[in-house]
Amino acid sequence: MGKGFDAVQANCLMCHSFGYILNQGPQSKAFWAEKVQKMIKAFKAPIAKEDADIVIEYLFEHYGNGREK
């Protein structure tokens, strides 16, 4: 599934299932960036900056709506 999927698996699925991501439906890049920041700030997810960027790209590519904002 590639590098992006590995990053999602390693950084996002330790607390909850992929369903949380799928349930959001197609969203903008800003939306995904905000969610990743929320996980880090509100829930103390231990995600490195490089990984956060890879995850955001992956989510936008696969679960994006084509809009930056």
3 binds ligand HEC (CB under 6 A): no
33 binds ligand HEC (CB under 6 A): no
Among 6, 17, 20, 61, interactor with ligand HEC by CB under 6 A: 20
Q: Which long-range contacts (CB under 8 A, 24 or more apart) does 34-39 make?
A: 35/59, 39/12, 39/15
| CB neighbour list of residue 35: distance below 8 Å, 6 or more residues apart | 24, 59
| Amino acid occupying residue 66 | G
Shortest distance, position 32 Cβ to ligand HEC, whole Å:
7
36 binds ligand HEC (CB under 6 A): yes
Distance of CA 20 to the CA centre of its chain: 10
Binding site for ligand HEC (CB under 6 A): 11-12, 14-16, 20-21, 24, 35-36, 38-39, 43-45, 47, 55
